[in-house]
């Protein structure tokens, strides 16, 4: 069986010594994927494609012309388009849809000789935090198969956790890369909004959506970021800022000033072992000479409502394109245009997606726009200003990634508000656009992974990565 390598550097060393080939690696992963089919991590495995691609990379390595990612076998979340391949966003409504172009991120990965091994299960249209809204069923956590993977990029996280590929891409709108990474004991990076192109990503909430990576090491996160980041003529929200060679510049950090949210230790909604773990790390950091201080964040209770009002509003607009006419599922019972719309959408979307389209339409409706949507935009601005002010004084904000570790499958499905509240610590970076990373920080008494999150200033991913590497060695 193929082993789980800590970083691409290890793989490259073994390739150099002639111990493995990329084709051999892909064959190993393919075997492991079928042996672990019960985890439900993949919606489709690109078996033949991946093998052909691996052979090409092997021959480029021999000729000495291989790119930076030669040896990287990567899985993509099923909302990231790859030309000539199906993409479903784990929804019935995209049944039969094949991408006619590739997303910029996929093009950039392939240009550097990564091999894409398959598309991963996720919450339907990335709406969820446990991968239970997927049309294809939940993904199981590899540590405990009765528990969720986290979401919405749950398949991507479990694919890496179970060693079914080396790294994976997810998308993070309100925590969907960071939270599953923390449930699976991995590194999950959400870069600054505007750092990585969204071209070819199936849109959920466009002012929040960002592509991120799920990896075992900070080095791999740095490498993937430098390959994927930077201006793209197809996404006008990208910042025209040069992309540093993140992976070559990881160095030990100087003493830092770190803030943590007081409420993450006082709130009854946070699991006691999650709190104890945070305290343990605060003490470790202090012992290492960093300044770590509690802060009060007066908008904490407004984070989740503001996020959900805005994300649902944007979703209701983005998802209006699924009409049973342009592409994807069309109800066989359609008789005319209106019944095509109604039936295709009623039958094609799952319950959670419908709930969000309805709520999003409501908050944008003429009578309620000012009361909800416009107000939430103002709250978003206040949250951004306050967060920026904190990050003027401190280098990082440290918070648990999630209030509790991976929970039982089926536990919260019945009460959506409980699920929404569990995004409390991830949506701050999403509302403000700040970069954030979830880092593995040990296990609880049941052996379930715990994650801690660091948030920093816009476009300071290098500092974030430097500190993360050091943090993992604490």
The residue range among 64-72, 141-149, 170-178, 251-259 that interacts with ligand GLN, by the rule CB under 6 A, is 170-178
315 close to 323: Cβ distance less than 8 angstroms: no
Crossing angle of helices 22-35 and 47-63, in 10° steps, is 160
Among 61, 126, 184, 376, binds ligand GLN (CB under 6 A): 126
- Dist. CA 328–CA 324, nearest whole Å: 7
Q: Looking up tokens 């000012």, which residue turns up?
A: 370
- Kindly state whether residue 132 participates in binding ligand GLN, applying the rule CB under 6 A: no
Distance of CA 87 to the CA centre of its chain: 17
* Residue closest to 172 by CA, chosen among 401, 444, 407: 401
CB of 24 to ligand GLN, least distance (A): 35
Q: Which of 91, 152, 247, 264 is catalytic?
A: 152
CB of 403 to ligand GLN, least distance (A): 13
What would the two tokens of residue 31 be?
Answer: 């075997």
346 is catalytic: no
Among 78, 172, 220, 461, binds ligand GLN (CB under 6 A): 172
Q: Which of 134, 153, 176, 316 is catalytic?
A: 176
- Kindly state whether residue 173 participates in binding ligand GLN, applying the rule CB under 6 A: yes
Cβ-count burial 371-409 (b if 16+ within 10 Å, e if not): ebbebbeebbeebbebbeebbeebbbbbbbbbbbbbbeb
Among 2, 8, 116, 127, binds ligand GLN (CB under 6 A): 127
What would the two tokens of residue 300 be?
Answer: 């904490």
Q: Looking up tokens 């990576």, which residue turns up?
A: 213
Q: Which CB sits closer to ligand GLN, 72 or 126?
A: 126
CB of 311 to ligand GLN, least distance (A): 5
Name residues contacting ligand GLN, limited to 395-434 (CB under 6 A). Answer: 423
Q: Which residues fall within 8 angstroms of residue 246, CB to CB, at 6 or more apart?
A: 222, 223, 225, 226, 461, 462, 465
* Residue closest to 152 by CA, chosen among 188, 113, 185: 188
- Kindly state whether residue 304 participates in binding ligand GLN, applying the rule CB under 6 A: no
CB of 59 to ligand GLN, least distance (A): 38
Q: Which residues pair with 396 in a beta bridge?
A: 258
280 is catalytic: no
CB of 133 to ligand GLN, least distance (A): 8
223 close to 213: Cβ distance less than 8 angstroms: no
What would the two tokens of residue 436 be?
Answer: 């954030």
The residue range among 167-175, 257-265, 269-277, 392-400 that interacts with ligand GLN, by the rule CB under 6 A, is 167-175
152 is catalytic: yes
- Kindly state whether residue 313 participates in binding ligand GLN, applying the rule CB under 6 A: no
- Dist. CA 31–CA 99, nearest whole Å: 27
CB of 1 to ligand GLN, least distance (A): 32
Q: Which CB sits closer to ligand GLN, 160 or 282?
A: 160
Name residues contacting ligand GLN, limited to 200-219 (CB under 6 A). Answer: 204
Q: Which residues fall within 8 angstroms of residue 154, CB to CB, at 6 or more apart?
A: 41, 120, 121, 122, 123, 130, 131, 134, 138, 139, 148, 180
Q: Which residues pair with 189 in a beta bridge?
A: 213, 437
Residue nearest to ligand GLN (CB): 176
Among 88, 152, 277, 428, binds ligand GLN (CB under 6 A): 152
* Residue closest to 312 by CA, chosen among 216, 208, 219: 208
Q: Which CB sits closer to ligand GLN, 39 or 427?
A: 427
The residue range among 16-24, 166-174, 253-261, 358-366 that interacts with ligand GLN, by the rule CB under 6 A, is 166-174
Among 109, 187, 309, 311, binds ligand GLN (CB under 6 A): 311
Q: Which CB sits closer to ligand GLN, 174 or 449?
A: 174
Phi-psi region of 270 (alpha: psi -120 to 50; beta: other; left: phi over 0): beta
Rg (CA), the chain: 21
* Residue closest to 2 by CA, chosen among 10, 18, 20: 20
**Total number of residues that touch ligand GLN (CB under 6 A):** 13
Taking CB under 6 A as the rule, which mask of x and - marks residues 85-124 in contact with ligand GLN? ----------------------------------------
Active site positions, annotated = 77, 152, 176
Which residues of the shown chain bind ligand GLN in the complex (CB under 6 A)?
126-129, 152, 172-176, 204, 311, 423
């Amino acid at each position: 069986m193929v082993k789980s390598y800590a970083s691409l550097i290890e793989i490259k060393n073994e390739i150099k010594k002639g111990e493995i080939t990329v084709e051999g690696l892909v064959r190993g992963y393919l075997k492991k994927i079928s042996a672990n089919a019960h985890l439900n991590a993949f919606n489709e495995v690109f078996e033949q494609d991946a093998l052909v691609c691996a052979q090409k990379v092997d021959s480029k390595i021999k000729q000495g012309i291989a790119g930076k990612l030669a040896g990287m076998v990567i899985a993509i979340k099923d909302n990231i388009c790859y030309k000539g391949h199906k993409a479903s966003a784990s929804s019935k409504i995209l049944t039969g849809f094949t991408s006619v172009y590739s997303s910029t991120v996929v093009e950039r990965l392939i240009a550097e000789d990564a091999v894409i091994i398959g598309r991963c299960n996720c919450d339907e249209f990335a709406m969820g935090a446990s991968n239970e809204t997927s049309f294809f069923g939940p993904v199981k956590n590899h540590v405990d198969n009765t528990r969720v993977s986290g979401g919405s990029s749950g398949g991507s996280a479990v694919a890496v956790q179970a060693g079914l590929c080396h790294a994976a891409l997810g998308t993070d709108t309100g925590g969907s890369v960071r939270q599953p990474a923390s449930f699976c004991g991995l590194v999950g990076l959400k870069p600054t909004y505007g750092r990585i192109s969204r071209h070819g990503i199936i849109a959920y909430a466009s002012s929040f959506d960002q592509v991120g990576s799920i990896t075992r090491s900070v080095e791999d996160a740095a490498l993937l970021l430098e390959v994927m980041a930077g201006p793209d003529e197809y996404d006008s929200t990208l910042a025209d800022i040069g992309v540093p060679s993140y992976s070559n510049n990881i160095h030990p950090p100087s003493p830092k000033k770190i803030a943590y949210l007081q409420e993450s230790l006082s709130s009854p909604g946070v699991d006691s072992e999650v709190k104890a773990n945070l305290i343990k790390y605060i003490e470790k950091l202090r012992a290492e000479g960093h300044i770590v201080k509690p802060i009060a964040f007066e908008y904490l209770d407004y984070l989740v409502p503001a996020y959900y009002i805005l994300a649902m509003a944007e979703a209701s607009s983005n998802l209006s394109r699924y009409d049973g006419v342009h592409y994807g599922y069309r109800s066989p019972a359609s008789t005319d245009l209106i019944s095509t719309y109604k039936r295709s959408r009623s039958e094609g979307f799952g319950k959670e997606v419908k709930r969000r389209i309805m709520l999003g339409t409501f908050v944008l409706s003429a009578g309620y726009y000012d009361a909800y949507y416009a107000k939430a935009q103002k709250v978003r601005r206040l949250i951004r200003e306050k967060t920026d002010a904190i990050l003027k004084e401190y280098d990082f904000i440290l918070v648990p990634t999630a209030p509790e570790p991976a929970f039982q499958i089926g536990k919260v499905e019945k009460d959506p508000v409980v699920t929404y509240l569990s995004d409390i610590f991830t949506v701050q970076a999403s509302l403000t656009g700040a970069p954030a990373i979830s880092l593995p920080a040990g296990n609880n008494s049941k052996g379930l992974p715990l994650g801690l999150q660091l948030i920093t200033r816009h476009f300071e991913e290098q500092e974030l990565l430097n500190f993360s590497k050091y943090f993992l060695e604490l």
